[in-house]
Amino acid sequence: EAQVTQNPRYLITVTGKKLTVTCSQNMNHEYMSWYRQDPGLGLRQIYYSMNVEVTDKGDVPEGYKVSRKEKRNFPLILESPSPNQTSLYFCASSFHAGQFYNEQFFGPGTRLTVL
């Protein structure tokens, strides 16, 4: 089944404890991205990747890192999480970023709470 998977789905952590949220897609997509969703602010893009080893900042990149060493994986890294990073996180992928008619596929979400 074609899908985007995220792990973990739920995470409660404490300020400053490094964490990684994994994202994997099995559709051979070139483009992957991370969003966060907050009440009243909607979904905002954190980082995106056009292909392996090519990443760039989205609208809200502060406090996050990403890497794209393999085409299928795009982990989101929080080196020193803070309470303002408590949010619902979504990973997304699509075949080509440059083709603006392409649909994006989203993962099920990771609910992160930073105490």
Partner 1 sequence: DAKTTQPNSMESNEEEPVHLPCNHSTISGTDYIHWYRQLPSQGPEYVIHGLTSNVNNRMASLAIAEDRKSSTLILHRATLRDAAVYYCILRDPNSGYALNFGKGTSLLVTP
Instruction: List residues near partner 1 by CB under 8 A.
Output: 4, 31, 33, 35, 42-43, 45, 48, 50, 58-59, 90, 92, 97-98, 100-101, 103-109
Locate 67 and state its tokens: 């890497």
Query: What is residue 72's three-state secondary structure?
Result: coil
For residues 16 and 56, which CB has a smaller minimum distance to partner 1 in the complex? 56
Residue 99 CA to residue 3 CA, distance in Å, equals 20
State the nearest-atom distance from the C-beta of 100 to partner 1, in Å.
4
State the nearest-atom distance from the C-beta of 90 to partner 1, in Å.
5
